Structure 1
Amino acid sequence: MIVTVNLNPVLDRTLALPHLTVGQINRARLVRLDVGGKGFNVSRALLELGTPSLALGVLGGATGEMLRRGLEELGIPGDFVFVEGETRQNLTLLDESTGLYTKINEAGPRWTLETVEVLLAKVREHVAPGDAWVMAGRLPPGAPPDLYARLITLVQSEGARAYLDSSGEPLRRACEAAPYGVKPNVEEAEEMVGHRLASLEDLVGATRVFLDFGIQVVAISRGAQGALVARGRRVVQAMPPPVEVKSPVGAGDAFMAGLVWALEGGRDLVEAARWAVACGTAAAMEEGTGVGAREKVEILASQIVVEEV
């Protein structure tokens, strides 16, 4: 089983505008609502690949109830911790005349120590040997910075594998717990290593920094430039074809879904990199916080160029 952990989920609201003019009334051409938050996006992308997952999350208020119902309608089973306060709503404004995105993110409800303990109890209830746990996103207000590290230690002590997509101090603390896999983007990797990653050689060096913690798989996503994926001493680079990007929101989460899906399905590093980049690219071709259909992912996968580095 694959379990996604969603500590600060969101209702994503996307407005596409023919032209965004600050300080004036603007009329949207398109309004779209999506179940969001990095972990929930991973579950949605896995579903498109034909793989079910359990979405474990923390929800609050009317927005939280909307997300619960949305997952139910999608056919994604969930188990939730309910908290006081309101699950956040994020707003993305697309200026179609320039192709530029403006994203406004809420902080989300503040956690208490009780929230942490209830969450840990939920994890203990569900964890089982051989499962894969995907933990993704920034920590919510009030959550301790070592929370991901604690979750990784917990699930891996029970024989499961943990995959992480986070940043900053939570990522640094979590790496010390040696998750099975991590997926930083270039900026997150730069923050981790403490310098710019201006060349392919720099990126390869950054994968070594993560691997030295005892992490088994490192994937540094690079947007339209694809990704570098490393396991042991082997590093591959996967490059997507040129595509029309409609929204980058959620593309990294679809990438993570493809990576986990491939690795947990027994595919090798080359195929894992291929499917991860194909999933991320397919998601970027969708409006809003979309995930690409399996058919589109398969077509893109045949066009991904994967090379040894």
Structure 2
Amino acid sequence: MARRRGCWSSMTSRRRARRWRLSRTRCAPPAHGRYSPSRSLARTERSAGEAKRTLRPVRAAAECAKARRGRHVSRRDAEARSFRRGVLAPLDAQHIRVESACIQSQRRTPGTEARVIITVTLNPAIDQTVEVEHFTVGDTNRIVASRFDIGGKGINVARVLKELHYEAVATGFGVGDLGRMIEDQLRDSGIGCDFVYIPGETRTNLTILDRSTHTHTVLGGPGESVSESELAQFLHRLRRRLRRDMWLVLAGSIPPPSDPAIYVQLILAAGAEGALAALDADGPVVRAVLEAGARPTLVKLNEHELSRLGASTLEGEDEIIAAAERIRDYGVPNVVVTRGSGPAIALTTAGDFRVHVPEIAVESAVGAGDAFLAGVLLGLKRGDRWERALALGAAAGSACCLTHGTQLCRETDVWQLQSRVRVERIHPIAASSGTPR
């Protein structure tokens, strides 16, 4: 028998969807009982030219739950999608409600927040690097090359993590127009930012690079002062971001007139949320933090910072290890000491290690310690053992020395250098008390 024009079986899917919408607007099903949104109407063809409506439960309740969590879908798209699945579910406003505050969290997979590394830069800066052939104190030095980069130890850590394709959020204080320029550059490179802005202007650090000796001299500005209300606002915003097993990197100097107590508050806040704190600061700041009772998960220093912590010059590897042991006596589980071109020392919960960095032609060592810390944290977040994480950190720090000024590292250099890093265990030595560990 020939099919009658306009019958259900001869319609295209678009015409079927349109007719269904028109029929539903004329006679909407009740919003309770068997016709509630948790059930839907399914069409089955019983004979040619005739369609009958039957009821069967579908997954509309789950779709409602997704909508309540913020999943956005238009009414037309939802109906067309349901029709393609063979389900014509009556949708109302609560099915497609949009909650903009939840859209971003809906896109994240569970636990994504804990995989983010947050860096704190309380005293950001603009780094100006000038290169001279032979730097002579008390004489006129001709500048061969000069460049400007955004700076601050925490910001450098975030930049290296982004270069290695790991998500980082840079927090701290932004100051003036230069502070907004720093945030714009970070966001353009894909780094999340959450700065509290204070009046004044961002400080400038001057780095003098001597090409003949491959040494650099840093002249650091003091930075703007931070009030109690601005500090309280920053602490409040940071606590809202902290999650369990998340790394919080506290790096760099402290703006005046603040004291190391601000790092103590941040470490305690991280511990209260189950986060892990990594402290990278000068020796006197580290000593004040430890004496105040704060216990970061990781303390990273270079050889000069470690000597200033004890107010004495360290000669030889044994004295460096003994000084790092005194930091562990405060209850710090992991201590890492970088030594420039010499082997780094790492006292960790998995053992004590000596990290031999590869031999390279050094262009500039600015930011190498920050890159080392970023590589170690990245390795630990990936689930690597301490040996492999330290190798990645040494590769990132070495790669940073291959670039001019404060450009930090390139990803290709990091992966090429990682295989050239050698990590070995250190035999236990006698501590300052004379007893072996």
Gaps of 5+ in 1: none
Q: Determine if the alignment matches structure 1 residue 59 to structure 2 residue 182.
A: no
- For 1:131-151, what per-residue CA distance to the aligned partner results, in whole angstroms no more than 9, with x for missing partners? 110110111111122111110
- The residue that corresponds to 1:201 in the other structure is 318
User: What code does the residue aligned with 1:177 have?
Assistant: A
The secondary structure found in structure 1 opposite 2:327 is: helix
Q: Determine if the alignment matches structure 1 residue 111 to structure 2 residue 226.
A: yes
- The residue that corresponds to 1:138 in the other structure is 253
- Of 104, 117, 132, 1:2 maps to 117
- Following superposition, the deviation at residue 194 of structure 1 comes to 4.6
- For 1:207-249, what per-residue CA distance to the aligned partner results, in whole angstroms no more than 9, with x for missing partners? 2212222222110111111311111372100111221111111
Q: Determine if the alignment matches structure 1 residue 13 to structure 2 residue 139.
A: no
Distance (whole Å) between structure 2 residues aligned to residue 238 and residue 167 of structure 1 = 22
- Of 242, 257, 275, 1:160 maps to 275
- For 1:122-168, what per-residue CA distance to the aligned partner results, in whole angstroms no more than 9, with x for missing partners? 21121111211011011111112211111001011101000000124
Which moved further from structure 2: 14-23 or 282-291? 14-23
The secondary structure found in structure 2 opposite 1:72 is: helix
Structure 1 pair 101/188, CA: closer, same or farther in 2 (3 Å)? closer
- The residue that corresponds to 1:84 in the other structure is 199
Where relative contact order (Cα < 8 A, 6+ residues apart) is larger, the structure is 1
- The residue that corresponds to 2:14 in the other structure is none
The secondary structure found in structure 2 opposite 1:267 is: coil
Q: Determine if the alignment matches structure 1 residue 237 to structure 2 residue 354.
A: yes
Summarize the alignment of residues 149-228 of structure 1 with structure 2, pairs less than 5 Å apart.
149-175=264-290, 176-228=293-345
Dislocated runs of 4+, deviation >4 Å: 18-25
The secondary structure found in structure 2 opposite 1:287 is: coil
User: What code does the residue aligned with 2:171 have?
Assistant: L
Q: Is the 8 A contact 1:229 1:269 kept in 2?
A: no
Q: Determine if the alignment matches structure 1 residue 267 to structure 2 residue 390.
A: no
- For 1:243-297, what per-residue CA distance to the aligned partner results, in whole angstroms no more than 9, with x for missing partners? 1111111111001101111112211121122111111111111111122112211
The secondary structure found in structure 2 opposite 1:273 is: helix
The secondary structure found in structure 1 opposite 2:420 is: coil
Structure 1 pair 13/202, CA: closer, same or farther in 2 (3 Å)? same
Which moved further from structure 2: 2-11 or 260-269? 260-269
- Of 367, 370, 374, 1:253 maps to 370
- Of 404, 424, 430, 1:307 maps to 424
Larger radius of gyration: 2
User: What code does the residue aligned with 1:77 have?
Assistant: G
Distance (whole Å) between structure 2 residues aligned to residue 24 and residue 97 of structure 1 = 16
The secondary structure found in structure 1 opposite 2:218 is: strand
- Of 216, 219, 224, 1:101 maps to 216
- For 1:96-128, what per-residue CA distance to the aligned partner results, in whole angstroms no more than 9, with x for missing partners? 345443322211111121222111112112111
Distance (whole Å) between structure 1 residues aligned to residue 213 and residue 349 of structure 2 = 42
TM-score by structure 1 length?
Answer: 0.93
Q: Is the 8 A contact 1:132 1:163 kept in 2?
A: yes
- The residue that corresponds to 1:33 in the other structure is 148
- Following superposition, the deviation at residue 24 of structure 1 comes to 4.4
- The residue that corresponds to 2:430 in the other structure is none
Q: Determine if the alignment matches structure 1 residue 50 to structure 2 residue 50.
A: no
Instruction: Tell me how many residue pairs correspond in the alignment.
Output: 308
- Following superposition, the deviation at residue 20 of structure 1 comes to 5.3
Gaps of 5+ in 2: 1-115, 427-437
CA RMSD in angstroms, aligned pairs only = 1.8
- Following superposition, the deviation at residue 173 of structure 1 comes to 3.0
- The residue that corresponds to 2:63 in the other structure is none
Structure 1 pair 96/205, CA: closer, same or farther in 2 (3 Å)? closer
Summarize the alignment of residues 118-129 of structure 1 with structure 2, pairs less than 5 Å apart.
118-129=233-244
* Percent of pairs with identical residues: 34
Structure 1 pair 95/209, CA: closer, same or farther in 2 (3 Å)? closer
Structure 1 pair 243/75, CA: closer, same or farther in 2 (3 Å)? same
Distance (whole Å) between structure 2 residues aligned to residue 282 and residue 25 of structure 1 = 28
